[in-house]
Amino acid sequence: MNYKIAILSASILSLPLSGCVTTGADGVKTSRSQVTVVSGERTQIRRNWSVDNDCLSDGLPKVRVLEGPAHGRVSIVNEKLFPNTRRAKCRTQKVMGTVTYYTPDKGYVGPDRVKLRQSYPVNGVDDTKIDINVVR
């Protein structure tokens, strides 16, 4: 059998604190995560990829902003990354993925929030609400 997996990972500065996953009337699952970022620095807040059993990319996830931050900006780029999958053998092979970066407004310290929609070539669509704590 050839199973395909799509996996999400978030934040390089702090581990995401995930709450429950809910499913809306439209069938889209929504999860939450929290990240801490340093004021004035561009920080990776989300990484998305989709890999098959052979650790090869089976398509590039599409990510878009549903609700933008009030105190910063978000950029979404396609770049090579090491997928943080359950399969140890896949963690050492870079694949193309979609990476989301957050940059707080100059001098801003405090909370912010962004909501993203991720569309995967294999496993459908899900949303993520990210609570951002901007520190000095």
Q: Tens digits of per-residue pLDDT, 95-111?
A: 999 999 999 999 999 99
In this prediction, residue 132 has a pLDDT band, given cuts at 50, 70 and 90, of very high
- Closest by alpha carbon to 83, among 73, 75, 71, 91? 91
Q: Write the single-letter amino acid at 82.
A: F
Specify the pLDDT at position 87. Answer: 87
Specify the pLDDT at position 18. Answer: 52
CA distances from 112 to 4, 37, 74, 96, 132 (A): 34, 10, 12, 28, 5
Compute the Cα dihedral for 121, 9, 13, 113 and give only its sign: positive
pTM above 0.85, yes or no: no
67-71, 86-90, 93-97, 112-116: least confident range: 86-90
Class of domain 4-135: mainly beta
